[in-house]
C-alpha cells in the first residue's frame, strides 16, 4: 500500500444546506433542503472506495467520515419534536378548512433546547426537526448568533433572509414550470406586503428580504443622486442619515416589531408551516429577545414554530435570556424545554462504531467506546475530538491489510485527556499548510459564517509580514517555514492598501486550495460562496492561532480592509460587523482614523436604533464619542453632536 494520508471529517450536519448570503460577510444561517442527508451506514465501503479512487488519482487520501452521523440516544427528544411538527402542520390544515378562521386559538409554539457546549443542541434541531420539517412540506429556517460579533438582530435577520430567499427561489421554480398553476407565492406575498405596509422600514431592518419585499433599497453609503454625488462622501452619508425619519425609543420598537410580525403573518399564511430556529441565544442581543417574545405572543401569526437553543451554563439567572424566559412563563406562554445532556455509554458505543465504520457488537469497539465514554463523560463533541486526537497522535490507525481501524487499548487508556478541546483543535490546525492557517485566522474574525470572497479580499490586502506578526509564536515554529519577523508598519486603518500587497504570496488558486483544505479537514462547511465553521469551538481554535497581543489590532486591520474594499451595498449590510472589527483597534488609531471611526459608529448606532436595537445602539454611540475623545467638539462638531443627541435619545 501507499503512503496514505488520513483526513478526518467531522461535525457535518446532514440535510442542512447553507444558503449563500447575498451580501453578509459573516453570519450563520441555513435553510434545510428537501434532500435530507442519508444516514452513513456504509462507512467501511466509503473508506475503501475513497481510498481506491484516490489511489487512481495518486492523491492517496482516505476519509474517515464522521459526517452525516446519526443522532444517537435522542429518540425521546426527536419524538417530542416530531409531535410538535405534526401539530404545526395539522393546525395549518385546520386553518385552511375554516375559511374565516381568525387564528384566535393560535399559540405560537416555543421550544427551548438547552445544554452545555457540544452536547448536540444544534444537531438535534437541525437533524431531528429540520429534516423532518421539509419532508412534510414545512419550511425550516435558521440563524445563529456569534460569540464575538454583537450585531443586533443578526441571527433573526439571517433566518429571515433565508426564508425570503427560499420563497423567491420557489417562486423562480414555479415561473419556469408550465404546470405551476396560479400565481407564485412570492408574488402573492409581495403584492400583499406592498399594499399593506411600510416596506421602506422593513427593508432597513431586514435587508436580506429586499427581493421578497419587492422595491429598491436606498443605501446609507455612497451618493444616490447627482446632487449628493457632488458633496464629499461623509456629508452625503450624514445628510442621508439625517433625512431618515427617526422615532423615539418606544415608538420605534413598536413600529419595528409590528412590521416584522405583520411580515411573518403574511409569509406564514402562504406556507404550510414555518420552523424558525435561532441558535446560540446565549449570545443574543436584547432587541432580538424582545422581538422573539412579541412574535411568540402574537396570536395572529399562523403556523409558526419558534425554536431556540442556548448554552445553559452561560445563562445565569441575571442573563437577559433568563429574564425573558421567566417573563414569558409569567405570561402563560407554554414553553417546551428540552435539556440535552451527555450520552450514556450505550449510545457512545454506536457513535464510536459509526465513526469507525465498524460493528457496534464488536467487543474491541465496545471497550474503546467505554474508555472514550469514561474520558469524555459522553459529550458527543468531546467524543469526536477525542477520536481526532487519537488519530493525530497515531494511537489509532487504519490498517489496509485488515481493512479496519486498529489501536492499542492500553495506549488509548493511558492517554491523558485534555479538558481543553480548543487546544486539541489548535494542535490539529498547526499541521495544516501555513496559508490555510492564515486564512483560518482571518475567517475566525469574520464570524461563525463567513463569505469566501471576504476572506480572500483580506488575504490579498494583508502582507505576509503582518500575518506572521499576528500569528502565535508557537504556530510559526510548528509550521516551520522561513520567516522574516519584524514589526508591522502598516497602520491599522491605513487606506494605503497597495503597500500591504507587496510581499503577499497568495494566489487565487492557493486560496482555493486552502478553502478546500478547510473543508477536507472537516473544519468548515462550504456551500458556494458561504462557509461555516462546523462548531463554535473550531472558530475559537482558529482565533487562538492569532497571537493574544495582536488580536485586537489584527481584527481592526481586517475591519479597515473590509471598509475599503467591500462594495457599498455589501458594506451597508455588513456595517455592524465592520464597525465591531474597527472598534477592536480604536486605542491605536490616529486622529484621522478616529474621526472616521466616530462616523462609522454614528452610522452603526443610527442603524441599530432603526432596528429598535437600542442596547446595541448605545454601545456604538458611546464608542463613537470615545473615538473622538476630548477633541471631539473641536475636531468634528456635527458628528459629536449627533453621537451625543442620538445617544441621549
Ligand X SMILES: Nc1ncnc2c1ncn2[C@@H]1O[C@H](COP(=O)(O)OP(=O)(O)O)[C@@H](O)[C@H]1O
* List of residues 6+ apart from 9 with CB closer than 8 A: 63, 64, 65, 66, 67, 520, 521, 522
For residue 71, the partner it binds in ligand X, Mg ion, none, with Cβ less than 5 to 8 A by kind, is ligand X
Judged by beta carbon, residue 15 or residue 632, the one nearer Mg ion is 15
- Per DSSP, the three-state class of 115 is strand
Q: In this chain, which of 17, 62, 351, 589 binds ligand X, going by CB under 6 A?
A: 351
- Per DSSP, the three-state class of 151 is coil
CA distances from residue 156 to 205, 285, 477 in whole angstroms, order as listed: 10, 10, 42
Residue nearest to Mg ion (CB): 122
CB of 149 to Mg ion, least distance (A): 16
Range 572-605 burial, b when 16+ CB lie within 10 A, else e = bbbbbbbbbbbbbbbeebeeebbbbbbbbbbbbb
- Site residues, Mg ion (CB under 5 A): 122
145 interacts with ligand X by CB under 6 A: no
CB of 40 to ligand X, least distance (A): 11
- For the chain, the 3-state helix, strand and coil shares in percent, each to the nearest 5, are 60, 10, 30
For residue 125, the partner it binds in Mg ion, ligand X, none, with Cβ less than 5 to 8 A by kind, is none
For residue 69, the partner it binds in ligand X, Mg ion, none, with Cβ less than 5 to 8 A by kind, is ligand X
With CB under 6 A as the contact rule, which of the stretches 46-54, 165-173, 378-386, 433-441 interacts with ligand X? 378-386
Beta 404-407 vs 396-399: how paired, if at all? antiparallel
CB of 78 to ligand X, least distance (A): 10
* List of residues 6+ apart from 361 with CB closer than 8 A: none
352 interacts with ligand X by CB under 6 A: no
Judged by beta carbon, residue 75 or residue 592, the one nearer ligand X is 75
CB of 373 to ligand X, least distance (A): 13
Residues 518, 158, 531, CA angle at the centre, nearest 5°? Answer: 10
For residue 351, the partner it binds in ligand X, Mg ion, none, with Cβ less than 5 to 8 A by kind, is ligand X
CB of 379 to ligand X, least distance (A): 8
308 interacts with ligand X by CB under 6 A: no
CB of 121 to ligand X, least distance (A): 4
How remote is the C-alpha of 485 from its chain's centroid?
A: 34
64 interacts with ligand X by CB under 6 A: no
Judged by beta carbon, residue 117 or residue 356, the one nearer ligand X is 117
With CB under 6 A as the contact rule, which of the stretches 52-60, 118-126, 358-366, 622-630 interacts with ligand X? 118-126
CB of 351 to ligand X, least distance (A): 5
CA dihedral (508, 392, 533, 422) positive or negative: negative
Q: In this chain, which of 15, 21, 37, 118 binds ligand X, going by CB under 6 A?
A: 118
Judged by beta carbon, residue 117 or residue 578, the one nearer ligand X is 117
Q: In this chain, which of 15, 143, 380, 447 binds ligand X, going by CB under 6 A?
A: 380
Judged by beta carbon, residue 147 or residue 322, the one nearer ligand X is 147
32 interacts with ligand X by CB under 6 A: no
First to last CA, the chain: 72
CB of 123 to ligand X, least distance (A): 3
CB of 524 to ligand X, least distance (A): 13
CB of 380 to ligand X, least distance (A): 4
CB 103 within 8 A of CB 95: yes
Residue nearest to ligand X (CB): 120
* List of residues 6+ apart from 368 with CB closer than 8 A: 352, 407, 409, 412
For residue 74, the partner it binds in Mg ion, ligand X, none, with Cβ less than 5 to 8 A by kind, is ligand X
Beta 109-115 vs 304-311: how paired, if at all? parallel
Residues 73-102 that bind ligand X (CB under 6 A): 73-74
CB of 121 to Mg ion, least distance (A): 5
Q: What does the block give as the cell for 450?
A: 463567513
Residues 377, 381, 387, CA angle at the centre, nearest 5°? Answer: 85
CB of 226 to ligand X, least distance (A): 51
302 interacts with ligand X by CB under 6 A: no
Binding string, residues 523-542; x marks residues near ligand X by CB under 6 A: ------------x-------
Judged by beta carbon, residue 347 or residue 574, the one nearer ligand X is 347
Q: In this chain, which of 6, 8, 11, 212 binds ligand X, going by CB under 6 A?
A: 11
With CB under 6 A as the contact rule, which of the stretches 76-84, 377-385, 394-402, 426-434 interacts with ligand X? 377-385
How many C-beta atoms lie closer than 10 Å to residue 463's C-beta?
A: 18
Judged by beta carbon, residue 43 or residue 535, the one nearer ligand X is 535
Cell 490546525 -> residue: 429
How many C-beta atoms lie closer than 10 Å to residue 456's C-beta?
A: 18
CB 175 within 8 A of CB 164: no
For residue 123, the partner it binds in ligand X, Mg ion, none, with Cβ less than 5 to 8 A by kind, is ligand X
- What angle, rounded to 10 degrees, do the helices at 345-356 and 43-56 form? 20
15 interacts with ligand X by CB under 6 A: no
Beta 404-407 vs 335-339: how paired, if at all? unpaired
Q: In this chain, which of 31, 117, 160, 256 binds ligand X, going by CB under 6 A?
A: 117
CB of 279 to ligand X, least distance (A): 7
119 interacts with ligand X by CB under 6 A: yes
In angstroms, rounded to a whole number, what is the distance separating the alpha carbons of residues 23 and 20? 9
Q: In this chain, which of 72, 92, 555, 557 binds ligand X, going by CB under 6 A?
A: 72
- Rounded to 5 degrees, φ, ψ at 526 are -115, 130
In angstroms, rounded to a whole number, what is the distance separating the alpha carbons of residues 616 and 627? 17
350 interacts with ligand X by CB under 6 A: no
Judged by beta carbon, residue 357 or residue 380, the one nearer ligand X is 380
For residue 459, the partner it binds in Mg ion, ligand X, none, with Cβ less than 5 to 8 A by kind, is none
144 interacts with ligand X by CB under 6 A: no
CA distances from residue 577 to 563, 584, 643 in whole angstroms, order as listed: 10, 11, 19
How many C-beta atoms lie closer than 10 Å to residue 431's C-beta?
A: 12
Q: In this chain, which of 6, 17, 64, 123 binds ligand X, going by CB under 6 A?
A: 123
CB 197 within 8 A of CB 57: no
Using alpha carbons, select from 156, 237, 297 the residue that is nearest to residue 611.
Answer: 156
643 interacts with ligand X by CB under 6 A: no
User: What DSSP assignment string belongs to 285-341?
Assistant: -HHHHHHHHHHHH-TTS-SEEEEEEEEGGG--TTSHHHHHHHHHHHTT--EEEEE--
For residue 27, the partner it binds in ligand X, Mg ion, none, with Cβ less than 5 to 8 A by kind, is none
Residues interacting with ligand X, by CB under 6 A?
10-11, 69, 71-74, 115, 117-123, 351, 380-381, 384, 535
Amino acid at each position: 500500500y501507499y503512503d496514505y494520508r488520513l483526513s478526518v471529517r467531522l461535525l457535518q450536519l446532514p440535510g442542512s444546506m447553507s444558503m449563500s448570503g447575498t451580501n453578509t460577510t459573516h453570519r450563520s444561517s441555513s435553510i434545510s433542503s428537501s434532500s435530507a442527508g442519508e444516514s452513513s451506514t456504509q462507512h467501511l465501503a466509503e473508506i475503501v472506495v475513497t481510498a481506491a479512487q484516490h489511489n487512481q488519482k495518486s492523491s492517496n487520501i482516505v476519509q474517515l467520515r464522521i459526517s452525516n452521523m446519526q443522532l444517537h440516544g435522542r429518540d425521546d427528544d426527536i419524538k417530542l419534536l416530531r409531535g410538535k411538527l405534526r401539530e404545526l402542520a395539522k393546525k395549518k390544515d385546520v386553518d385552511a378548512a375554516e375559511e374565516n378562521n381568525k387564528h384566535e386559538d393560535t399559540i405560537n409554539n416555543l421550544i427551548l433546547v438547552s445544554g452545555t457546549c457540544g452536547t448536540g443542541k444544534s444537531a438535534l434541531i437541525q437533524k431531528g426537526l429540520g429534516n423532518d420539517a421539509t419532508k412534510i412540506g414545512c419550511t425550516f429556517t435558521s440563524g445563529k448568533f456569534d460569540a464575538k460579533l454583537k450585531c443586533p438582530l443578526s441571527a433573526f435577520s439571517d433566518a429571515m433572509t433565508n426564508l425570503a430567499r427560499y420563497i423567491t427561489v420557489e417562486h423562480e421554480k414555479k415561473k419556469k414550470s408550465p404546470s405551476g398553476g396560479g400565481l407564485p407565492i412570492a408574488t402573492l406575498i409581495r403584492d400583499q406586503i406592498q399594499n399593506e405596509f411600510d416596506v421602506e422600514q422593513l427593508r432597513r431592518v431586514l435587508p436580506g428580504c429586499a427581493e421578497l419585499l419587492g422595491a429598491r433599497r436606498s443605501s446609507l453609503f455612497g451618493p444616490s443622486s447627482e446632487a449628493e454625488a457632488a458633496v464629499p462622501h461623509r456629508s452625503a452619508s450624514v445628510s442621508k442619515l439625517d433625512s431618515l425619519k427617526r422615532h423615539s425609543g418606544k415608538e420605534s420598537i413598536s413600529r419595528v416589531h409590528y412590521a416584522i410580525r405583520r411580515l411573518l403573518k403574511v409569509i406564514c399564511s402562504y406556507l404550510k408551516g414555518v420552523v424558525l430556529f435561532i441558535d446560540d441565544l446565549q449570545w443574543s442581543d436584547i432587541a432580538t429577545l424582545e422581538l422573539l417574545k412579541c412574535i411568540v405572543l402574537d396570536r395572529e401569526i399562523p403556523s409558526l414554530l419558534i425554536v431556540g437553543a442556548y448554552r445553559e451554563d452561560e445563562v445565569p439567572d441575571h442573563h437577559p435570556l433568563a429574564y425573558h424566559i421567566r417573563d414569558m412563563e409569567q405570561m402563560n406562554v407554554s414553553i417546551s424545554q428540552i435539556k440535552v445532556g451527555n450520552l450514556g455509554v450505550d449510545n457512545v458505543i454506536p457513535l464510536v462504531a459509526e465513526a469507525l465504520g465498524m460493528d457496534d457488537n464488536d467487543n474491541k469497539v465496545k471497550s474503546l467506546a467505554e474508555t472514550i465514554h469514561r474520558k469524555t463523560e459522553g459529550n458527543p463533541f468531546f467524543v469526536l475530538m477525542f477520536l481526532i486526537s487519537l488519530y493525530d497522535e497515531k494511537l489509532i490507525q487504519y490498517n489496509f491489510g485488515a481493512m479496519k481501524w486498529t489501536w492499542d487499548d492500553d495506549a488509548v487508556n493511558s492517554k491523558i485527556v485534555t479538558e481543553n478541546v480548543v487546544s486539541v483543535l489548535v494542535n490539529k490546525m498547526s499541521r495544516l499548510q501555513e496559508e490555510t492557517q492564515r486564512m483560518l485566522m482571518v475567517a475566525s474574525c469574520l464570524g461563525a459564517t463567513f463569505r469566501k470572497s471576504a476572506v480572500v479580499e483580506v488575504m490579498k490586502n494583508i502582507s505576509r509580514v503582518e500575518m506572521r506578526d499576528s500569528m502565535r509564536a508557537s504556530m510559526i515554529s510548528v509550521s516551520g517555514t522561513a520567516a522574516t519577523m519584524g514589526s508591522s508598519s502598516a497602520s491599522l486603518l491605513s487606506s494605503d492598501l497597495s503597500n500591504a500587497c507587496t510581499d503577499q504570496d497568495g494566489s487565487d488558486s492557493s486560496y482555493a486550495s486552502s478553502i478546500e483544505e478547510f473543508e477536507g479537514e472537516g473544519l468548515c462547511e462550504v456551500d458556494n460562496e458561504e462557509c461555516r465553521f462546523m462548531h463554535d469551538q473550531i472558530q475559537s481554535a482558529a482565533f487562538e492561532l492569532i497571537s493574544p497581543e495582536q488580536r485586537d489590532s489584527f481584527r481592526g486591520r481586517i475591519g479597515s480592509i473590509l471598509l475599503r474594499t467591500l462594495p457599498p451595498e455589501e458594506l451597508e449590510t455588513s456595517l455592524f460587523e465592520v464597525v465591531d472589527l474597527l472598534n477592536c483597534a480604536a486605542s491605536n488609531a490616529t486622529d484621522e482614523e478616529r474621526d472616521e471611526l466616530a462616523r462609522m459608529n454614528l452610522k452603526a448606532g443610527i442603524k441599530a436604533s432603526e432596528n429598535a436595537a437600542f442596547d446595541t445602539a448605545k454601545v456604538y454611540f458611546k464608542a463613537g464619542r470615545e473615538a473622538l475623545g476630548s477633541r471631539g467638539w473641536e475636531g468634528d462638531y456635527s458628528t459629536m453632536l449627533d453621537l451625543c443627541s442620538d445617544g441621549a435619545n
